[in-house]
Amino acid sequence: AVDGWSAGVLWRDLAAAYGARLAGVAPVWPALPVGYVDFAVWQREVLGESGVGYWRSALAGLPERIELPVDRRGVEPSDRGDVVPFRWSAELSAGISALAAAGNATAFMVVQAALGALLARLGAGVDVPVGVPVAGRLDAACADVVGMFVNTLVLRVDVSGDPSFSELLGRVRERCLAGLGHQEVPFERVVAELNPTRSVAGHPLVQVLLAWQDAAFLDVVLPGVVSSPVPLHTGCSRVDLSVSVGPDGNGLAGVVEFRTDLFDRSTVESLIGRFERLLTTVVATPERRLHEIDLLSDTERRQVLDEWVGSTEADGGLLPELFAAQVARSPDAVAVVCGGREFTYAELDAASDRLAWHLVRSGVGPERVVGLLVPRSLEFVVGMLGVLKAGGAFLPVDPEHPGERIDFLCRDAGAVLTLRPEDVFVDSSGEPVPLPILDPRHPAYVVYTSGSTGVPKGVVVSHGGVPVMVGAQVRRLGLGPGSRVLWCASPSFDASVWELWGALGSGAAVVVSRDPVGDLAARGDVTHVTVSPGVLGVLSASVSVGTVVSAGEVLPAAVAARWSVGRRLLNAYGPTEVTVCATVSAPLSSDVGVSIGGPVEGTRVWVLDGWLRAVPPGVSGELYVAGAGVARGYVNRPGLTAERFVANPFDGGGGRMYRTGDVVRWRPDGQLEFVGRIDDQVKVRGHRVELGEVESALAGCEGVRRAAAAVRDG
């Protein structure tokens, strides 16, 4: 076990022995001033604790892991590896040297700063630890010794505050010089000191190495023999990603070694392309801030800003019109199945007309909210239609919720009146009144979700979004006359808008279920079901339902595998703020993997960094959504509305987009993969919960000063 330097010593000795042999004499070996044992003794007994203090403070608060743009997340990688070579042009290499000289730094420092900047831009955060091997032969007496002297320094690249590259180079230079000043402390000593969590799957302290490689030691000069080095790869990778680079010919060249369990070769090739583009940019414009550096290739730019984004073109309309069209088309078709009884479109239409006239006479109209204190039932459907026809917005309120919450919702949303089940069917004595003319921007419903400040927030969704959503359902789920849609969601979640309008907007029937999970398992008379993956996880997949939509939470691959056999299984994604659904996957099967798919009809999506710039495919970013479905905002929360519904820089028409707080990334096939949340919002059995809401409720209790909430499995 020796280091690279030792190879040069070995080749030289080999040449001496070979030359002596040719000459028929015994080789003469000069005596070595020290041996490897002396070095080992020095390291253990002389060095002691010196320098350890430096590393303790230099590495305080080191991130335990950084996020790399891997192809496969959540795997425990083995050490299987591969390499991809690269070469930079003489021009770029000269530019790197010039940039180094201008900053009183070395070419290595430029490359290190660029690597840190690259990884930061690709999602690694602003504190990027890079392992840097050093020769470790600090004493000239060691120069001729064969042994393992090489050491690894952990150098952090501090990318915080979006510096210019020149500024970053200055920071790297300082850290590099200080680190080199303490390079004698062995890496294992630093690891022992910092005591990070160890894992067989990962190198401690660093996932990325950067080595400066001088290829000269590979030259074996034997008299009468022509030799040339042959690159040989071990098939292993010591860390997740390792870059070695150095002078070669008239430029810089090197290889990137990577763990094949994490990266595909093509991903590493595109990483190398980005590295080169970044270096080319900083050499030309070192004062440019890091976020301004364009990392996209032309193809990628087309994909993430055009091809994969979706289109806001869609057939719109208003909810009463959408329903009226179905009534006109097939008045006698079954619209609702409830408690063993069937109600036709015509019956539903007549009942909701009477309610609408009554509501209009009571002052309901556009911009007015009506509470629906009604459980999942025929009454809810009639109530919802009546309110919408009257031009109002319905506020679904679960009658089983605590009175305090019910009062809060009705008050906060400014409900002008509240309907209970017994208020919904009004007798036929009332005269028709003209119904108001609606605008797609008028609110259609208000749904409350958890609020991080401790108070639930109402999302105001307008009319325009739902018909577009129905259009997407018809196309993606094949909904239409003859379909029977199970209504499982609680009316107080917008998932019930998806179920009810998917049916009523397409001429299908709503099957009202009292016991969604049990019913889903037992009945064979529905064609379409939408449930959370948690429900799918506990049910047997032998149910005879042709189309199952998993929604609301991460769909585990194992659940997807079980439910995708013999039926259409889709994964739908969307926050309440964009009218239920923003993206839907293609039908899942075990060979396509789980994704949340792409934008639905009428919707555009972007994956952006903190500066609202599109990130490259494979790189995590925040998902932003635009289109007819984007809600008007939150009730009575102009500040929060302005924060989440932001101006859309990709819309020349001055539209807004919703910032979801969801972290996603584009797969190479243009499908989105869900990665996680940017904040403390969680899902507990499909329920959206802001941990902050729980914490502030706890902190409001007598005797509690501070509280922290977390989700635990089970």
Please report, as ranges, the residues that interact with ligand AMP according to CB under 6 A.
449, 551-555, 571-573, 575-576, 596, 660, 662, 674, 677, 683, 688
- Give min distance, CB of 683 to ligand AMP, in A: 6
- Please say whether the beta carbons of 668 and 618 come within 8 A: yes
Burial pattern 553-590, b for ≥16 Cβ within 10 A else e, equals: bbbeeebbebbbeeebbbbbbbbbbbbbbbbbbeebee
Least separation in angstroms between CB 551 and ligand AMP = 5
| Min dist. Cβ of residue 468 to ligand AMP (A) | 17
Tokens of 189: 């000593």
Count of C-beta atoms within a 10 Å radius of residue 539: 17
The answer to whether 616 touches 122, Cβ cutoff 8 Å, is yes
* Per-residue tokens: 17: 């022995």
User: Please, which residues have CB within 8 angstroms of residue 515's CB and are 6 or more apart in sequence?
Assistant: none
CB of 129 to ligand AMP, least distance (A): 30
What lies within 8 Å, CB to CB, of 74 at 6+ separation is: none
The nearest distance, CB 261 to ligand AMP, in angstroms, is: 24
C-beta of 681: minimal distance to ligand AMP in Å?
6
Least distance (Å) between residue 581 CB and ligand AMP: 8
- Residue 88 vs 573, nearer CB to ligand AMP: 573
Q: Between 106 and 571, whose beta carbon lies closer to ligand AMP?
A: 571
Distance of closest approach, residue 413 Cβ to ligand AMP, in angstroms: 17
Beta carbon nearer to ligand AMP, 12 or 683:
683
* Separation in Å, CA 590 to CA 557, 566, 701: 8, 12, 49
Closer residue to ligand AMP, CB minimum distance, 336 or 607: 607
Specify the residue, 103 or 491, whose C-beta has the smaller distance to ligand AMP.
491
Nearest to 8 by CA among 223, 286, 214, 212: 214
Residue 329, CA distances (Å) to 16, 225, 291, 507, 528 in order: 97, 91, 55, 8, 22
**What is the bridge-based pairing of β-strands 621-627 and 393-396?**
unpaired
CB of 677 to ligand AMP, least distance (A): 6
* 3-state secondary structure string across 186-234: CHHHHHHHHCCCCECCECCCCCEEEEECCHHHHCCCECCECCCCCCCCC
At its nearest, how many Å lie between ligand AMP and the CB of residue 660?
A: 5
Closest to ligand AMP by CB, 6 or 532: 532
Measured from the CB atom, the residue of 87 and 401 that comes closer to ligand AMP is: 401
Residue type, 36: Y
Q: What is the DSSP string of 582-645?
A: SEEPPPP-TTT----BEEPTTEEEEEE-TTS-BPPTTS-EEEEEEETT---EETT-HHHHHHHE
**Residue 492 Cβ, how far from ligand AMP at the closest point, in Å?**
11
Answer for the pair 663, 620: CB distance below 8 angstroms, yes or no.
yes
Rounded to 5 degrees, what are φ and ψ at 537? -65, -30
By the 10 Å C-beta count (0-12 exposed, 13-18 middle, 19+ buried), 280 is classed as: middle
Q: Smallest distance from the beta carbon of 119 to ligand AMP, in angstroms?
A: 26
CA dihedral of residues 511, 515, 521, 524 (deg, nearest 10): -20
Smallest distance from ligand AMP to CB 439, Å = 25
**Closest approach of ligand AMP to the CB of residue 466, in Å:** 15
In this complex, which beta carbon is closest to ligand AMP, that of residue 413 or of residue 555?
A: 555
- Which of 299, 453 has the CB closer to ligand AMP? 453
The first and second tokens of residue 492, run together, are 């107080």
Q: How far is the CB of 539 from ligand AMP (least distance, A)?
A: 18
Comparing CB distances to ligand AMP, the nearer of 383 and 575 is 575
* Closest approach of ligand AMP to the CB of residue 561, in Å: 16
Shorter beta-carbon distance to ligand AMP: residue 205 or 596: 596
Distance between CA atoms of residues 177 and 285, nearest Å: 25
* Kind and range of the H or E run holding 546: none
Q: Which residue, 649, 361, 620, 380, is CA-closest to 491?
A: 380
Query: How far apart are the C-alpha atoms of 667 and 376, rounded to whole Å?
Result: 39
Instruction: Give 398 or 553: the residue with its C-beta nearer to ligand AMP.
Output: 553
Cβ distance to ligand AMP smaller for residue 66 or 625 = 625
Neighbours of 192 (CB within 10 A): 11
- The nearer residue to ligand AMP, 163 or 574, going by C-beta atoms, is 574
Given the complex with ligand AMP, which of 513 and 576 has the nearer CB atom?
576
Are 479 and 508 in contact by the 8 Å Cβ rule? The answer is yes
* Closest C-alpha among 613, 558, 627, 610 to residue 588: 558
Q: Smaller CB distance to ligand AMP: residue 237 or 492?
A: 492
